Amino acid sequence: QSPLVESGGGFVQPGGSLTLSCTSSRLSFNYYTIAWFRQAPGKEREGVSCISRSGNSDHITEYADTMKGRFTFSRDDANNAVYLRLNSLKPEDTAVYFCAAVRSGYACSAYVEGYDYWGQGTQVTVSS
């Protein structure tokens, strides 16, 4: 059973917003590098954004220019959760969004091979 659980997906009209959540009852996110990926029908899974921690500072990496400025990644240590806020959604953002994790010490990666743990995904559909 996957140690990561995503939620918050749904159906939204173009221009709308959603907030995706990723939580775990098994992994303490303080000790993990966490990423969001997405996979559209018929396409490969692609990196969206990643958050890594160095000391007390978080560093966020965004992987695609098409998503920069529209998607915001945040971490909530108190609730052992990470969030991906999706704004100004477009039909091409339609995909299953996945949360992934690897132990801290490993750098953010845009590739699926860079992560050891995955969630089951949450569907985001953008359509009028």
* DSSP string covering 24-93: -SS--GGGEEEEEEEE-TTS--EEEEEEEEETTEEEEEE--TTTTTTEEEEEEGGGTEEEEEE-S--GGG
Digit-coded pLDDT (tens) for 16-55: 999 999 999 999 998 999 999 999 999 999 999 999 988 7
Digit-coded pLDDT (tens) for 48-76: 999 998 877 888 888 887 788 899 999 99
pLDDT at residue 64 in the model:
81
Share of the chain above pLDDT 70, in %: 100
pLDDT at residue 54 in the model:
80
